[in-house]
Structure 1
Amino acid sequence: MPESRRLPRTAAFWSVAVLLVLMLAASGVPSPLYRVYQEQFGFGSGVLTAVFGIYAFALLASLLVVGGLSDHLGRRPVLVAAFLLEAAAMALFLFADGVGWLLAARVVQGLATGALTSTLGASLLDLQHPDRPLGAFLNSASPGLGLSIGAVAAGLLVQFVPSPTDWVFGVLTVVFLLAALGTYLLPESSPRLPGALASLRPQVHVPAAHRRAFLVALPLLVAFWAVGGLYLSLGPSLLADVFGIDNHLAGGLLILAMQGNGVVGSLALRTSPPERAMLIGALTFTAGVAATLVALFTTSAVLLFVASVASGFGFGAGFLGAVATITAGVAPGYRAGLLSSIFVVGYLAFSIPAIVAGTAVQGFGLTRTTEVYGAVVVLLALLAVAGLLRARRTTGSLAPVERPGSVAQLPG
């Protein structure tokens, strides 16, 4: 298709934003359905977290191998292939009749989501208007918005519609096939750097000028995503087994309380300096997780939802600040690779702690496991706060600094 017939830059930017939210919504759809699958296929918490975790590991593998591929091949070819893979995953869910099918579907979905997360996120940075740099905001707000939409929509269908899996995954299969076709309307937004084959070597690469900000934000990224993983894997089970609320919609609303308010946090601090947003987000998140521990001790469902709102707000604000700080000034040809590194950390924290927690539940119980989990997360968040305050006190800013004779944005 001639470039003159592609979407204009602004329309392409918002189209990519919609596609990113849609893809992330699909990744959140299975969470409220896990309990349905448990009833249908007869498996316990250990298998449930394995189904959850294998998705995250496949996603990680995709980020590590093809996370930066669109910096070399261009954004469009990677998007088309990844959307077709996402459609295949939805079809596997549609025809699933056992745990093996669920595992296969989650592996394929993880591979597609990893490629789409880095490529769509980099496209937003490419296409954003210089006077309205919304790329970092949308990259940080989209996970919460997408996961909330997917979880709540699936929860509603499970609660009120017969054969909800047929409806959900049948529609999504068609939607992602159309998305693959629609990708041809997007303009190519990235220069093609040499080294496509070399980029397939699994790696996490952070350009030298961005490493200090990355390391300071690292404990916070781990804390944020670890709590997100706990909510999406065991949140509905926690609500049912500890608080006595065995309702599929309530499980989706708990995820909404946390993930949805991530969007509110991002919106509220989108005009703040990134490091200030990161600090406010970290402190609010810490207070929310601490309140969650109190809710478990008192078995107060109301306090659990309030704590989830606070944790989600802090997640959104802090993740926005972290992404904006780490990616400040990154050159176009390295955007997908840097975003991929951020999400590699996120999804490692999203998966491994949740899998460990699912295993620990068998021996220690859901309440005790969640209490220990929350305490570790609080310590990580406070460590990040201390690191950020120390960095600001010593140098005043984490923003990349160009040194004489070097290019700050390029890998060292």
Structure 2
Amino acid sequence: MSFLAASSAPTPLYATYATEWHFSSITTTVVFGVYAIAVLASLLVFGRISDHIGRRPVLLAALGLQTAALVVLVTAGGVEALLLGRILQGLSTGGALGALGAAMLDIDRHRGALANSAAPGVGTGTGALVSGLLVQYAPAPTHLVYVLLIGVFVIQGVAVIRMPETVSRKPGARAALVPELAAPPGVRGAVLVAAPMLFATWALAGFHGSLGPALARQLSGSDSTVTAGLGLFLVAATGALSAVAFGRISPRAGMLLGGLLLAVASLATLAAIDEESTLGFFGSTFIAGVGFGAGTQGAIRTVVTRATPAERAGVMSVLFVVCYLGMGVPSVVAGVLVVHGGGLLTAARAYTVFVLVLVVAAMLGLLLTNRSARSGGSSKADHATCGHPAPASAAAGSPTAEARRAN
């Protein structure tokens, strides 16, 4: 939660930075994009290392680097420092995500899967809203939120030192640093099912993190930083709550429900932009948040419940790579459209249509995958790939399974 809160804390400040340092909307999306790229690079290089050296060393290193990034942001005097701070934030967050996700699964697989779905949304939403409130009403608007976060990370560093390690060291750490974007054989089918939905849901989060603040200000006619951060908060907060609320339905049902709600939200967002309706925009944002939570938790549960303890950090890293590709790439393209493609409203429409197409494609793929599995006489393990766990009698090595293989 704190890592993702730190990542969203600069969002309400972008307008302030743009005014002070005289940069355009494309610079804002570049700053947003370099963070996502840094997260991706870190996930690829450091995503599996905690499976070999332990969770604690990776988390302590990530906390130290995050603190250094916040120091850079506190003292930033221009775009270059802002970019450096965001890159350092991305590297530290990417290094932490795989280890944190795996550690929660080590402790409790079911609740850990739900926490992996809900915690990023809670952190992202809280960071954006609290930052907006501090910028609007507290002194030192470009400093205070970062100073408070530094205090949080120092306290958490002490807590991590005292935290029991959840995995044993094993050889292969050096090989694990070689970038590799591959899922273990036992979860590849599940990743292929879940990846399109994760990409679509996080592309929507990228919309509210990049274009959302400026769009909310333009539609409402307000310069409030709270208004600017409200859209991202709504998506993240409602996403976190819905991830928990829908945690008991099947993962496949969660993805289908999430996709349906995201499609409705995209259409509502287009209508709100055309009508220049502030209420319509935030209403569609609320629906999008529920869809984000339902779709994300369904996709993550589809995959992580099939990973072994030794694979968890690597599997979580693969999933977060998909998420941050969805968040980062469309946002950078949208920034180019704002400057060279007709302005903010045109870019927002194009982005929303893109998300709608992604969601429809993800749902069609999910339905076709399930239909193909049924018509092909697939095994129960194949159906588990689509989110339906195979019963214990079908487990490898059981008498029933051995008899079936013999037959």
Q: 1:404 to 1:170 in 2, by over 3 A?
A: closer
CA-to-aligned-CA distance 1:277-325 (integer Å, 9 cap, x gap)? 1111111111111111111111111111110000110000110000000
Cα offset for 1:404?
6.3
- Contact kept? 1:74, 1:190, Cα under 8 Å: yes
2:330 counterpart letter in structure 1: P
State the SS of the aligned residue for 2:143.
helix
2:311 corresponds in structure 1 to 334
Match for 2:140 among 151, 163, 176? 163
User: How far apart, CA to CA, are the structure 2 residues paired with 1:108 and 1:215?
Assistant: 30
Cα offset for 1:383?
1.3
- Contact kept? 1:151, 1:255, Cα under 8 Å: yes
- Contact kept? 1:192, 1:333, Cα under 8 Å: no
2:363 corresponds in structure 1 to 385
State the SS of the aligned residue for 2:211.
helix
- Contact kept? 2:43, 2:317, Cα under 8 Å: yes
User: How far apart, CA to CA, are the structure 2 residues paired with 1:142 and 1:46?
Assistant: 30
Q: After the TM superposition, which residues 246-261 of structure 1 pair with which residues of structure 2 at under 5 Å, given as runs?
A: 246-261=223-238
1:395 corresponds in structure 2 to 373
Instruction: Count residues in correspondence.
Output: 383
1:177 corresponds in structure 2 to 154
TM-score (ref. length: structure 1): 0.89
- Contact kept? 2:211, 2:348, Cα under 8 Å: no
- Contact kept? 1:242, 1:367, Cα under 8 Å: no
Q: Segments of 4+ in structure 1 off by > 3 A?
A: 399-405
Identify the range of structure 1 (61-70 vs 230-239) with the bigger mean alpha-carbon deviation. Answer: 230-239
State the SS of the aligned residue for 2:44.
helix
Cα offset for 1:48?
0.9
**Quick check: 1:48 aligned with 2:28?**
yes
Structural RMSD (CA): 1.7
Q: After the TM superposition, which residues 270-281 of structure 1 pair with which residues of structure 2 at under 5 Å, given as runs?
A: 270-281=247-258
State the SS of the aligned residue for 2:165.
coil
2:379 corresponds in structure 1 to none
User: How far apart, CA to CA, are the structure 1 residues paired with 2:22 and 2:38?
Assistant: 24
1:6 corresponds in structure 2 to none
**Quick check: 1:82 aligned with 2:62?**
yes
Long gaps (5+) in structure 2: 375-382, 398-407
2:211 corresponds in structure 1 to 234
**Quick check: 1:207 aligned with 2:184?**
yes
Cα offset for 1:394?
3.2
User: How far apart, CA to CA, are the structure 2 residues paired with 1:122 and 1:97?
Assistant: 37
TM-score (ref. length: structure 2): 0.91
User: How far apart, CA to CA, are the structure 1 residues paired with 2:149 and 2:242?
Assistant: 28
1:117 corresponds in structure 2 to 97
CA-to-aligned-CA distance 1:218-252 (integer Å, 9 cap, x gap)? 22111111111111112111112344232211112
2:401 corresponds in structure 1 to none
1:175 counterpart letter in structure 2: V
2:49 counterpart letter in structure 1: L
What percent identity do the matched residue pairs reach?
41
1:378 counterpart letter in structure 2: L
2:13 corresponds in structure 1 to 33
1:135 corresponds in structure 2 to 112
User: How far apart, CA to CA, are the structure 2 residues paired with 1:391 and 1:299?
Assistant: 39
CA-to-aligned-CA distance 1:26-81 (integer Å, 9 cap, x gap)? 11111011111111111111111111111111111100000110001010111111
1:375 corresponds in structure 2 to 353
Cα offset for 1:24?
1.2
